[in-house]
């Protein structure tokens, strides 16, 4: 049973978007700050620091996670995914990201990293969402710019695109 003392920095290791990373943190350091300040992964944003705005949302071991309500030391050994991991390769956007661009799903972009993580995770397990389901999912995010409608449009289109591409893949396999 490790006891990490308050005033020292402790080594923290995990996989970030598939790659091993390492840094050091006092026990009180939020995962959000660890990502941004220790690892330089500034894609994840920090708004309210009490779980309400959703800007800091990431995936930890497949679970949607507020990185402001999680300590860096808690994710030691875990699999962490952030907005930096969404694009399939440099210079190419994911289907969801491209739909956001097309539909103006972002304006200032502050809320976007968290919104994308929630939608990406949700669409991977619910490929045929209704608009109501997406609105309920987005209740966990605050966007001060878009009024949410373009976000919903982008997400619905991304869901349809992803569904038709999996259908095509399925039919090429038969």
Partner 1 sequence: MKPAAFDYVRADTLDEALAVLAAEGGDARIIAGGQSLMAMLNMRLARPKVLVDIMRIGDLDRIAEERGRIVVGAGVRQAKLLAWSELAAKLPLVALALPWTGHEQTRSRGTICGSVAHADPSAETPLCLIALEGEVHLRSARRRRVVAAGDFITGMMNTARQDDEMIEAVSFPIRAGNGYGFREVARRHGDFAITACAAIASANGIRLAVAGVADKPEVRNWPDLDGSALDDALNAFAYELDARDDIHATARYRRDLVRQIGREVIMEARRCRA
Ligand X SMILES: Cc1cc2nc3c(=O)[nH]c(=O)nc-3n(C[C@@H](O)[C@H](O)[C@H](O)COP(=O)(O)OP(=O)(O)OC[C@H]3O[C@@H](n4cnc5c(N)ncnc54)[C@H](O)[C@@H]3O)c2cc1C
Residues in touch with ligand X (CB under 6 A): 51-52
**Pattern of binders to ligand FES over 128-147, x per CB under 6 A?**
---------------xxxx-
Give helix 149-173 / helix 95-102 axis angle, nearest 10°.
140
Give just the sign of the alpha carbon dihedral 68, 125, 109, 93. positive
**Residue 63 is a binding residue for ligand FES (CB under 6 A):** no
**Residue 54 is a binding residue for partner 1 (CB under 8 A):** yes
Structure tokens at 42: 């500034």
**Residue 36 is a binding residue for ligand FES (CB under 6 A):** no
Residue with tokens 């289109």, as numbered in its chain = 157
In whole angstroms, give the CA distance from residue 128 to residue 131.
10
**Residue 55 is a binding residue for ligand FES (CB under 6 A):** yes
| Binding interface with ligand FES (CB under 6 A) | 46-49, 51-56, 66, 68, 106-112, 143-146
């Amino acid at each position: 049973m490790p006891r990490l003392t308050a005033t020292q920095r402790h080594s923290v290791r995990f996989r970030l978007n598939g790659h091993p990373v390492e840094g050091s943190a006092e026990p009180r350091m939020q995962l959000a700050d660890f990502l941004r300040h220790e690892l330089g992964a500034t894609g994840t944003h920090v708004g309210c620091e009490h779980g309400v705005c959703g800007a800091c949302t990431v995936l930890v071991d497949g679970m949607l996670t507020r990185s402001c309500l999680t300590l860096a030391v808690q994710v030691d050994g875990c699999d962490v995914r952030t907005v930096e991991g969404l694009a399939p390769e440099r210079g190419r956007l994911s289907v969801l990201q491209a739909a956001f661009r097309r539909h103006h799903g972002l304006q200032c972009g502050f809320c976007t990293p968290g919104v994308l993580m929630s939608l990406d995770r949700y669409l991977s397990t619910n490929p045929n969402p209704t608009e109501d389901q997406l609105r309920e999912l987005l209740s966990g995010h605050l966007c001060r710019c878009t009024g949410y409608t373009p976000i919903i449009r982008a997400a619905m289109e991304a869901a349809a695109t992803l569904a038709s591409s999996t259908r095509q893949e399925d039919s090429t396999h038969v």
